[in-house]
Amino acid sequence: MAAVAIPVLDLGPLRAGEPGALERLGAELRRAFTEVGFYFVRNHGVPEALVEEVFEAARRFHAQPLEAKLAMRFNEHNMGYMPMRGSTTRMNSLGTIYKPNANEAVFLKRELPADHPDVVNGVRFRARNRWPENLPGFRETALRYMDAMEALGKSLVPLYAVALGLPPDWFDEAFREPMYTLRMTHYPQQDPATAEEEWGLAPHVDTSFMTILAQNRVPGLSVRLPDGTWLDAPAPEGTFLVNGGMLLRRWTNDRFLATPHRVVNRSGRERYAIPFFMDCSFGHVMTPVPTCVDADNPPRYEPITYSEFMTTYQRANYGEALAEAEKAGRQKVELQGA
């Protein structure tokens, strides 16, 4: 039953270049984002062994002594390590403030060279990754996975264009060098007797255009269907679960859903998750897409860039961690006018 609720998109025919595949998948994607907000992809071409390697890298990262993790503490670029209960979900479509989230996470972005102009100029969200010093192979595995996820994400973008009644290449320029974040999260076991509101990750919507989530052997994720019921997300083998966040919703003038979801880990095991969040290129200005705007449905949002959006949105969600990080890097932040 659950598998029926979340559509499964088979990418095989598209990857094989079959005529009509793009149009068919575009229609399926349209249904997914107007009815559910989540879909699975199968036959995506990402090796299962790589996914397993990244889960193992996440486990190894969090198994390090706390000092090693704190050496790369979460900063004003939204990169680095966020300690257990370091975030509180405040800003979400459900309008509730929750207790701090029972997880710890490390956030990685595109690897930029030291002499990249944005790095040299200290542009916010465009810093270099910091890497653990005593974790051989971690960096290589993370970089390979981010490359694979970027390629998968970019291959899905034309489906969004077709789903919105646009030419397949309509988003190409916007995603020439997409911003992205790989989050490696550790959810410790939660006591089955803990209060209702004690979340691994409280109900939230993502900020992203597209979130690609590798299937988890340890359950815990549930998704709020449009009828208000919570569905424990099934995890069909060999698939990724994809959803859209506020950027997708905003860009489509609220046509596409950003569906709330939440995590609680009462599995009796440690749980790790490796969501990959993809957004448009850094400087791209997102103006509500033309096919989502008409006389009955005027634009609801001002044009906005990634950094303008993130600055406002994430301040609300990562309040404490960010305030601290900003204090430490005050000069840099003010120079950017953030």
- Interface residue with ligand AKG among 183, 249, 284, 332 (CB under 6 A) is 183
Distance CA 161, CA 45 (A): 21
- The yes or no reply on residue 242 touching ligand AKG (CB under 6 A) is no
248: part of which helix (H) or strand (E)?
helix 246-251
From 137-145, 213-221, 285-293, 323-331, span contacting ligand AKG (CB under 6 A): 213-221
By CB atoms closer than 10 A (0-12, 13-18, 19+), residue 262 is: buried
Minimum CB–partner distance for residue 227 and Fe ion (Å): 20
Taking a C-beta distance cutoff of 8 angstroms, is the pair 281, 179 a contact?
A: yes
The angle that helices 138-163 and 48-62 make with each other, rounded to 10 degrees, is 130
In the numeric block, the tokens 């899905």 are attached to 156
Distance CA 235, CA 32 (A): 17
Backbone angle region of 173, left / alpha / beta, with phi > 0 → left and psi within -120 to 50 → alpha: alpha
- The yes or no reply on residue 279 touching Fe ion (CB under 5 A) is no
Question: Which residue type sits at 34?
Answer: T
From 9-17, 30-38, 171-179, 202-210, span contacting Fe ion (CB under 5 A): 202-210
32 touches, from Fe ion, ligand AKG, none (C-beta below 5 to 8 Å by class): none
Distance CA 260, CA 243 (A): 10
Minimum CB–partner distance for residue 264 and ligand AKG (Å): 10
Enter the tokens of residue 169.
């290449």
Distance CA 166, CA 139 (A): 38
By CB atoms closer than 10 A (0-12, 13-18, 19+), residue 223 is: buried
- The yes or no reply on residue 239 touching ligand AKG (CB under 6 A) is no
Q: Which is nearer to ligand AKG, 101 or 253 (by Cβ)?
A: 101
- The yes or no reply on residue 203 touching ligand AKG (CB under 6 A) is no
- The yes or no reply on residue 86 touching ligand AKG (CB under 6 A) is no
Q: Which is nearer to ligand AKG, 260 or 288 (by Cβ)?
A: 260
- The yes or no reply on residue 279 touching ligand AKG (CB under 6 A) is no
Minimum CB–partner distance for residue 166 and ligand AKG (Å): 27
Residues 6+ apart with CB under 8 A from 70: 81, 83
- The yes or no reply on residue 6 touching ligand AKG (CB under 6 A) is no
Minimum CB–partner distance for residue 116 and ligand AKG (Å): 27
Minimum CB–partner distance for residue 313 and ligand AKG (Å): 13
Q: What backbone torsions phi and psi does residue 54 show, to the nearest 5 degrees?
A: -75, -40
- Interface residue with Fe ion among 76, 104, 150, 206 (CB under 5 A) is 206
- The yes or no reply on residue 110 touching ligand AKG (CB under 6 A) is no
Q: Which is nearer to ligand AKG, 215 or 253 (by Cβ)?
A: 215
- Interface residue with ligand AKG among 11, 127, 258, 263 (CB under 6 A) is 263
Enter the tokens of residue 255.
């046509």
From 103-111, 201-209, 277-285, 290-298, span contacting Fe ion (CB under 5 A): 201-209
Q: Looking at 123-245, list the stretches that DSSP marks H as alpha helix, in order from N- to C-terminal side.
A: 138-163
- The yes or no reply on residue 261 touching ligand AKG (CB under 6 A) is yes
What residues make contact with ligand AKG under the rule CB under 6 A? 183, 185, 201, 206, 213, 216, 221, 261, 263, 273, 275
What residues make contact with Fe ion under the rule CB under 5 A? 206
